[in-house]
A = this chain, B = another copy of it.
Amino acid sequence: MKAFVTGCAGFVGSHLTERLLAEDWDVVGFDNFSTGRRRFLERAVRDPRFLLVEGDLLQTDALQSAMRGAQCVFHFAANADVRRGAEYPRRDLEQNTIATHNVLEAMRVNAVTRIAFASTGSVYGEATVMPTPEEAPFPVQTSLYGASKLACEGLIAAYCEAFALQSWIFRFVSILGERYSHGHVFDFYRQLVSDPTQLHVLGDGRQRKSYLYVEDGIEAIVLATQKARGRVNIYNVGVDSYCEVDDSIAWICEAMQVRPRVLHAGGDRGWVGDNPFIYLDTAKLRALGWRPKLSIEQGVRRTVEYLRSNPWLLEAHA
């Protein structure tokens, strides 16, 4: 069986690539290295069943020929810079919506009928039901990132109906763990490395957040694609709890053995379009037998451990 993984050099995509290789798939990885990193693929490239294709999802010819012969697409490439959607609105449109359209068209050309897709809990906008189930009331979008992922979900579902594809759509909470390199734990870590005496925090620190450890997310993907048999299979993926931003700060500081002055910018959200609270009902996924192995606190601590062992990541961001 051959898998085609977009965003194979990204945070989640690289973990998924390794896992698929371990599950005995041949893997063609596709990445434009705009945010992906070659070092994340160090293990994968040593496996003869892995083929790396450097390319962009907006180049339809390259995409179509790279996908040839695949049985399943794992579409994990995306513009994941949720915060700066308002600065570069076209980026979400191109890297998420149009890119996903191109992936679906390449599947049609190559007669690939299965797609797993990394979506986000952001598609629920400001959810009115907590924890939020997959069948929550029809949401109103609040971020360009969420809107673009919703557009992708809609395209995938419509292609499934029109061309008899089968899809698995995963609505993730924020993910952390090894290779995590953006988002608030990363920002806090970076600030504290450069100045352990103070920490600037967007919002009031009370924003509630739910985080999933990356390997638990990978397990959800492997399990659901094996077990769920519907045409369009939609799953929330997250832990059964949440923390406040200030909780995660305490864990980070303890792990780093620093005691900064914490300066809150104030307000109930970090940035325009930030959702104050994404907390997902994962009963549907749990019914397949899935359970996350790490708590939020364990995930945060592992992430800090990883960042300490990989100072190059911080330098790469300088």
Contacts and interface: CB of A to CB of B under 8 A. Distances in A.
Q: Which 4 A-B pairs have the closest CB atoms?
A: A147-B154, A151-B151, A147-B158, A86-B162
Contact of A154 (B134, B151, B158): B151
Interface of A: 85-86, 89-90, 93, 97-98, 101, 104-105, 124-125, 134-144, 146-148, 150-151, 153-155, 157-159, 161-163, 232, 234, 272-273
A89 B146 contact: no
Mostly, the A contact residues are: helix
Contacts of A161: 141-143, 272-273
A101 B89 contact: yes
21 contacts: A85-B158, A86-B163, A89-B101, A89-B105, A89-B162, A90-B105, A98-B98, A124-B138, A138-B139, A140-B157, A141-B161, A142-B158, A143-B158, A143-B161, A144-B159, A144-B162, A146-B158, A147-B151, A148-B154, A150-B151, A162-B273
Given A89-B101, A97-B151, A272-B162, A138 B138 contact: yes
Contact of A138 (B85, B135, B163): B135
A245 to B, nearest CB: 21
A272 B163 CA distance: 9
Contacts of A125: 157
A143 to B, nearest CB: 6
A153 B123 CA distance: 12
A139 B161 CA distance: 14
A106 B113 CA distance: 38
A114 B136 CA distance: 28
A135 B124 CA distance: 12
